[in-house]
Amino acid sequence: MKVVHIVGARPNFMKVAPVLNALKVHRRVVQTLVHTGQHYDANMSDVFFQQLSIPAPDVNLDVGSGTHARQTADVMIRFEPVVLKAKPDIVLVYGDVNSTVAAALVCAKLGIRIGHVEAGLRSFDRTMPEEINRLITDQLADMLFTPSEDADLNLRNEGIAAEKVFLVGNVMIDSLVRLLPIAQRLNDNRRNHNRMPERYVLVTLHRPSNVDDSATLKGLLELLLEVNCDLSVVFPVHPRTRQRIAEFGFNADRLRLFDPLPYIEFLALQARSTMVITDSGGIQEETTYLGVPCLTVRDNTERPITVSKGTNVLVGRNPERLRTEICNVLAGKAKKGTVPPLWEGHAGERIANVLAGQL
């Protein structure tokens, strides 16, 4: 059985690692890894391959940055000859980034089977580029691997046949479970060397809706500067956000701004933080697993289980509401959560078993 995995952006890497690993034990499976090059900075890509022990990609499409149309089109044009040559039995696509939908479109037109890992998530907000990517990818996929029951329900409501859907759990948590002990050792060393404050707020912001509009970004940064007077704000900054801060001429030097961090270093920071403020998808899931309070600066989430079961609170994009929720956490009134079923480190193996059984 020939399997092609295609990944491109940072959040894909922690999802592909467990599936690659789990398929290794199936002797008859030959795996090819394609990197689209959507993310290309060493600290957005290479370091994740190293830390997650992902083999070097067999092919790199080197598409780089661009408008949505250009980036998606470039992946399609460059992936088509690769997949024609590889003649795989199935192509596995991950998450909801532009590389995901582009690869799915190519395969659908060539009649090549598609497996979508992390299928069925919906924010019901079509202004998010990721929502368009999710809707299209799921319509085209032949096998849909879902992280939670809400995803199965969404797919059922969209008329997707139940026999194509496999509830396997959360692959992102597989990577977390594997590397958390190393992250915790890093925390112990840091504590010994006294390099990090005892209590801090960990922040990530990169959604266009938060960082591309100068008034919204200004409001958020001002609130963070205010919080920083009482509690250190640690903020690894995505390249897009870094560019916007510079373009709009904001001064956020009093915050602890870092370049994007490697996986293990970021996991270590999350595990020990007083709270996380984010607009990321995956971090909502990771904080739920870790039991760390998470305030999500978005009006909606495609991961509602992190709110209904986990530690996530959707605060919207209003700095006042964010301030109230920060105060709640600091007053010891943070929401307590539980870990959703099948978020325990074995989702990759379940995907591998389904593939081995079906193909």
Is the Cβ–Cβ distance between 26 and 356 less than 8 Å?
yes
Contacts of residue 195, Cβ cutoff 8 Å, sequence gap at least 6: none
Least distance to ligand UD1 from the beta carbon of 255, Å?
19
Catalytic site residue from 5, 206, 238, 346 = 206
Catalog residues that contact ligand UD1 under the rule CB under 6 A: 9-11, 38-41, 44, 65, 96-98, 129-130, 206, 238-240, 243
Whole-number Å distance between alpha carbons of 71 and 192: 45
Least distance to ligand UD1 from the beta carbon of 6, Å?
13
Strand arrangement, sheet containing 294-296: 256-258, 232-236, 200-204, 275-278, 294-296, 312-314
Whole-number Å distance between alpha carbons of 273 and 199: 7
Whole-number Å distance between alpha carbons of 169 and 343: 6
Assess whether 206 carries a catalytic annotation.
yes
In the bound state with ligand UD1, the residue whose beta carbon lies nearer, of 97 and 352, is 97
Least distance to ligand UD1 from the beta carbon of 96, Å?
6
Other residues' Cβ atoms within 10 Å of the Cβ of residue 59: 19
In the bound state with ligand UD1, the residue whose beta carbon lies nearer, of 65 and 189, is 65
Whole-number Å distance between alpha carbons of 29 and 8: 22
In the bound state with ligand UD1, the residue whose beta carbon lies nearer, of 53 and 243, is 243
In the bound state with ligand UD1, the residue whose beta carbon lies nearer, of 154 and 232, is 154
Tokens at 314, concatenated: 């959707």
Helix ranges (H only) for 232-331 are 239-247, 263-272, 282-290, 305-308, 319-330
Least distance to ligand UD1 from the beta carbon of 99, Å?
7
Least distance to ligand UD1 from the beta carbon of 60, Å?
13
In the bound state with ligand UD1, the residue whose beta carbon lies nearer, of 204 and 311, is 204
Report the catalytic residues: 206
